[in-house]
Structure 1
Amino acid sequence: MTAKKNIVLFWFMNDWGKYGRAYEEIALALSKHPNTGLVTCVLPPVKAHDQQFMAAIHRHTKNLMVITPFWQSINKSGIGYRLRTWFNKRYPPLTLIRLYLYFKGYSKDNTVLWIYPPHQFIPELINNIPHKTLVTQIVDNNSFRTDASYKIAFSKLQYDELSQSANLVITSSAVNYSIFSKLNNNCLFIENGVSERFISTPSDFPFKKNNTQPRLGYLGFISQRTDIELIRHVALMRPNCLLLIAGPDEGIVEPSGITELPNVKYIGPVPHIQAPSFLRNLDICLIPHKDNEYSRSMSPLKLFQYLASGRPIVSTRVAGTERWGDLVMLSESYDTFVRNIDMTFETDNLEKSAMRIEAVKAENWNNRVDHMVNKLMELD
């Protein structure tokens, strides 16, 4: 019988519990998988003011821990400055985390280091966390970003290096698979999935039942891939509809001035616990994404969440939507996008709502992770 795998998973942002990101769903599904034991999610180090010893440790479930390391193992200030300085130099946070994992039962033979690049902390993890297997999972390909502030050259170099050195590479888009499968023969293409909490029951347009203004909504990060001008076009062409934009803003919304329109409302990030309810109360879910290299490297998580809600979907024709053409209204232009909204209001019904929900049920995270772990077990 093959021994269970313990997983140390590193995500490149400090956002556990905020947005219900894919890595959280994967970590949770891994912690429940029959072929895995313990799962520890390590986030990037932070500088804490009233810092505790070594790291902030949160037990999410019986088998799933979340650790946020501090840059110093103990505070530099206070009595015993020299002793504190010596301790921080002698015992950096990863040394202590390594010891913590050892006492939890992690060893080189039973540990998988599962990393999401890019991040400058990753080499330290590889060098300090004993592991038998290295998994590199690539989601959004940040080497395709165009904002000058982003470390694009660093991202590309780290993607390439880690893809070549990993025992297994997991990609979530066809574009990333085409790139990284050339660097590693053990490469999987597995799209994003959906959490069971998003699975709803078939429903008709809420505005009909509630006698309210039709609500069009977008849930997700507002970033380079978001076509804010398309949202503006929809708002101007259909002033009778209320457009709700929900999600973290990467500096796109305010400069655009879009919220000055009377029928556009930016409500900020929606807590992931409330996200299913937010979607169910929309009349139409929107995917107003630009078709560029950055968006082609992604698997739109919101698509699966939208489908699970049962609500109709109008989208631009972007990567990840191809196989859902029978259930999603795909648009080639701004005017087509608006016409598809109109057509949806005229033709959508309970039967189509039920079809969307039924179609996405098999796309759940447990099935996704089962595929990943099965491939991982083949490598032994």
Structure 2
Amino acid sequence: MSWAGPFQQPIGKSPSQPDTSEAAVVFDPLIPTLLCLSHLRWSFVYQRPQHLMSRFAREYNVLFFEEPVPTDEAEPWLEVRPDEEGVQILVPRLPAGLEAQRTQAALRTLLDTYLERLEVEDLVLWYYTPMSLGFTRHLQPSTVVYDCMDELSAFDGAPPDLLEHERELLERADLVFTGGHSLWEVKRELHGNVHAFPSSVDIAHFATARAFQNNPPDQAGIGRPRLGFYGVIDERFDVALLDQVAALRPDWQFVMIGPVVKIDPASLPRRPNIHFLGGKTYDELPQYLAGWNVALMPFALNESTRFISPTKTPEYLAGGCPVVSTPITDVVRSYGKSGVVLIADTPEKFVAACEKALDLAADRPAFLEHADRVLGDMSWDRTQAQMKEQIECLR
């Protein structure tokens, strides 16, 4: 194994700029390099990309290339940050206000320079965003993977040419994975090698919530019963539903964990029994989950949620909480008849489902046994192994 570092000067930076890549970066030229091109930042919310890439890093050199960050500096440069899970995080820093064509050229130069520095020969390209084609279509990988975890074109603020880029990516891709069965049904009409890999779970991580834990300080003073949600609070979250349910049951406490993104924080309901605690790390989530009676998925029913397969569904169950969700297609399909995930589509029905979930939670041994049967052998390790098998069949 060779060491491409420590990098005393990040790619593209002038000697006058401070060094941010003092840690040594491990690179093994004898194994393939997986370049993951993501619209999500590694340090934002720990979800599908982080689960998969941290596991691929056990067998591949994994480079996680994020979208650019604007800087006041005059020249583009690439921040290289070794992650503790063996993934190299690459963050392009570009001068603010750079126009589109020059942005693509700068990204291509930064990426090419880094790949040349590592002397990468065996390359796998893994796309989460088709928009990355603008600076990667010239590369010559052994395999191209498109992991379509969401229908990005349905999200607020989606680039107008995203669908055009996706059509090109589907032509180039050797292999397409989808984040759920609903997406698979759509993408299989557009590509001949599509495989559904719904959201999975690290059961051991979330099962720690089943044991008694001291409540985190910002949750300890909140009364019971506690009904909780964690995740990104954005256009997929049904703000009105939460407000109405909280109004119907002022004696219940609603704990909301996660960053507020793309919606006005002023639009969030403000009631004495609704508690917004902000974002938490992946390692902290079981501590909060341990203090809940019921876990919630109050998703809006709109274009942005039409194809989602929420990771939190099996995570909540592994943590020992019954779940109440709005009728998201993939949730209904996978868990609607499970008996541990209850579905409701109006505020009144949501309250009734939560009351039933509280009854389930009261008989904890029976609920945990039932939840474990539903989870079965589900795991991110299994999902990653099956994906790797599909890739290796093409290499």
* TM-score of Structure 1 vs Structure 2, range by shorter chain: 0.7 to 0.9
Aligned-residue identity in percent: 21
User: CA, structure 1 residues 101+354, in 2 after alignment: closer, same or farther (shift >3 Å)?
Assistant: farther
CA contact (8 A) 1:244 1:267 kept: yes
- Residue of structure 2 in register with 1:104 after alignment: 118
Equivalent-residue separation in structure 2 for 1:168 and 1:304 (angstroms): 26
The answer to whether the aligner puts 1:161 opposite 2:168 as a matched pair is yes
- Residue of structure 1 in register with 2:392 after alignment: 377
Considering Cα pairs closer than 8 Å and 6+ residues apart, tell me whether 1 or 2 has the greater RCO. Answer: 1
CA contact (8 A) 1:204 1:353 kept: no
Given candidates 54, 58, 64, the residue that maps to 1:41 is 64
Cα deviation, 1:286-340, whole Å, max 9, x if unaligned, reads 0111233321211101112211211111111212222223221122432111011
The answer to whether the aligner puts 1:298 opposite 2:308 as a matched pair is yes
User: CA, structure 1 residues 300+51, in 2 after alignment: closer, same or farther (shift >3 Å)?
Assistant: farther
CA contact (8 A) 1:200 1:310 kept: no
RMSD: 3.0
- Residue of structure 2 in register with 1:311 after alignment: 321
Cα deviation, 1:218-255, whole Å, max 9, x if unaligned, reads 11112222111111111011111111111122344634
Shift in Å, 1:118: 4.1
3-state SS in 1 of match to 2:247: helix
Equivalent-residue separation in structure 2 for 1:100 and 1:224 (angstroms): 36
CA contact (8 A) 1:203 1:350 kept: no
- Residue of structure 1 in register with 2:182 after alignment: 175
Pairing of 1:334-353 with structure 2 (within 5 A): 334-348=347-361, 349-351=363-365, 352-353=367-368
- Residue of structure 2 in register with 1:66 after alignment: 89
CA contact (8 A) 1:204 1:350 kept: no
Equivalent-residue separation in structure 2 for 1:40 and 1:252 (angstroms): 31
- Residue of structure 1 in register with 2:10 after alignment: none
Equivalent-residue separation in structure 2 for 1:237 and 1:331 (angstroms): 15
Equivalent-residue separation in structure 2 for 1:211 and 1:99 (angstroms): 52
- Residue of structure 1 in register with 2:207 after alignment: 199
Q: Which amino acid aligns with 2:256?
A: I
Shift in Å, 1:96: 4.3
Equivalent-residue separation in structure 1 for 2:79 and 2:385 (angstroms): 30
- Residue of structure 1 in register with 2:343 after alignment: 330
Cα deviation, 1:174-215, whole Å, max 9, x if unaligned, reads 2221221112111111011223422336469999x9994211
Shift in Å, 1:58: 1.1
The structure where helix makes up a greater share of residues is 1
- Residue of structure 1 in register with 2:149 after alignment: 139
Equivalent-residue separation in structure 1 for 2:268 and 2:284 (angstroms): 27
User: CA, structure 1 residues 31+336, in 2 after alignment: closer, same or farther (shift >3 Å)?
Assistant: same
Question: What is the TM-score with the length of structure 2 in the denominator?
Answer: 0.80
CA contact (8 A) 2:33 2:123 kept: yes
User: CA, structure 1 residues 206+113, in 2 after alignment: closer, same or farther (shift >3 Å)?
Assistant: same
Equivalent-residue separation in structure 2 for 1:206 and 1:54 (angstroms): 44
45-54 vs 181-190, which moves further: 45-54
Which segments of 5 or more consecutive residues in structure 1 lack a partner in the other structure?
76-87
User: CA, structure 1 residues 284+142, in 2 after alignment: closer, same or farther (shift >3 Å)?
Assistant: same
Equivalent-residue separation in structure 2 for 1:204 and 1:104 (angstroms): 47
Equivalent-residue separation in structure 1 for 2:246 and 2:264 (angstroms): 14
Which segments of 5 or more consecutive residues in structure 2 lack a partner in the other structure?
1-29, 97-101
- Residue of structure 1 in register with 2:17 after alignment: none
User: CA, structure 1 residues 281+366, in 2 after alignment: closer, same or farther (shift >3 Å)?
Assistant: same
Pairing of 1:206-355 with structure 2 (within 5 A): 212-252=223-263, 254-259=265-270, 261-321=271-331, 322-324=333-335, 325-326=337-338, 327-348=340-361, 349-351=363-365, 352-355=367-370
Question: What is the TM-score with the length of structure 1 in the denominator?
Answer: 0.83
CA contact (8 A) 1:202 1:354 kept: no
User: CA, structure 1 residues 27+65, in 2 after alignment: closer, same or farther (shift >3 Å)?
Assistant: same
